[in-house]
Homo-oligomer: A and B are copies of this chain.
Amino acid sequence: MTYTYDDVYINNYATVGGPYEKDGPIGPSIDKVYTNLYADEKTWEQAEVKMLSDSIDLVLRKSKKNASDINLLISGDLLNQVTASSYAALSFNIPFFGIYGACSSSVEGMILMSSLIDGKKIKNGIVSVSSHNMSSEKQFRNPTEYGAPKPSTATFTSTGGASVYLSNQKGKIKVESSTIGKVVDMNQTDPFNMGAVMAAAAGDTIYRHLQDMKRTVDDYDLILTGDLGVYGREILIDYMHQEYGIDLGKNYDDSGTMLYDLKKQEEVLAGASGPLCIAMVSFANVFPKLEKGKLKRVLLVATGALFSPTFVYQHKPIYSISHAISLEAIR
């Protein structure tokens, strides 16, 4: 499902990260950094709530808005029952919708928010996402104290919160069009190889977006997927070539390979993941380039792995989904 927008703009955005994000190449562009994973809270879950809340606070301040000026908050995260989002939402008292698109949540939220603004139901809103390395590891994999070794295809859940303020007020970045993804099954069962799980979903959505908009990859200065990681990125390049005869070319990159220094930060293995990943990379690194006109048109292609530990134990394959949103620099 692809459609276009008339009057929706990205006016402001804010990112909050942890120690690993601080040490990565995008570190200097992150608005606020905590040097410990607890973010001065007692638990990892409460640290995630704090980082998400901080990012909402920051984007409100940058936008010179009070929470009471905001029509709607849409937020998603990986914690069971999407609790980071719900608990962060309380203190702002903004009408709230929780969403779940796994690591595709940021673009799912931006599509929903942009659609409501463009359809004149609301005038503005904030879309937020968060993830936390330790709260995720604890929930999805092994008790972290085990120190279980992982294969090189495993990715590293990013830590922090990111929020973006969208409105019908003209800004430097226009939301131009979007494509809503479908659930894809590539019969993958390995939770340590999410890149392989999600690459086909990204490929399917990119292909449908280009078809629906009658465009080629050359119409974008940047196609940014996430969070596929080193191996998923290569799988997607191959998949696009073999399945659709499309060469993703030099303007393609994956946010999972950009958040950390893959050579120095060896613990991240195949790269970054988590709902925060593509949000942090695009907000801190890509949006400023759009605002300065260094990039004219960008396609964000967020990818999510749809599964739960329970379904993996029941020998079900891990499904995936990907949503895309096209952003343009306004002169």
Contacts and interface: CB of A to CB of B under 8 A. Distances in A.
Interface of A: 1, 3, 42-43, 45-46, 71-72, 76, 78-83, 86-87, 89-90, 93-102, 108, 112, 115-116, 118-122, 139, 180-185, 306-311, 314, 316, 319, 321
Q: Determine which residue in A100, A182, A185 has the highest number of CB atoms from chain B within 10 A of its CB, and name it.
A: A100
A1 B95 contact: yes
A98 B99 contact: yes
Q: Determine which residue in A83, A93, A97, A307 has the highest number of CB atoms from chain B within 10 A of its CB, and name it.
A: A97
Contacts of A42: 314
Contact of A116 (B96, B119, B182, B309): B119
Contact of A310 (B3, B80, B90, B182): B80
Contact of A321 (B71, B96, B102, B121): B96
A317 to B, nearest CB: 9
A99 to B, nearest CB: 5
A119 B115 contact: yes
Given A72-B180, A306-B81, A120 B119 contact: yes
Q: Determine which residue in A86, A93, A120 has the highest number of CB atoms from chain B within 10 A of its CB, and name it.
A: A86
23 contacts: A1-B72, A1-B122, A3-B121, A3-B122, A43-B314, A45-B311, A78-B81, A79-B308, A80-B81, A80-B310, A83-B308, A87-B306, A87-B319, A90-B185, A93-B183, A96-B181, A96-B183, A97-B99, A97-B180, A99-B99, A115-B115, A115-B119, A115-B121
A42 B310 CA distance: 13
Contacts of A97: 99, 101, 108, 112, 180
A4 to B, nearest CB: 9
A72 B108 CA distance: 13
A183 B100 contact: no
A86 B314 contact: no
A81 B307 contact: yes
A120 B119 CA distance: 7
Contacts of A100: 76, 81-82, 98-100
Q: Determine which residue in A76, A183, A307 has the highest number of CB atoms from chain B within 10 A of its CB, and name it.
A: A183
Given A72-B1, A316-B87, A308 B80 contact: yes
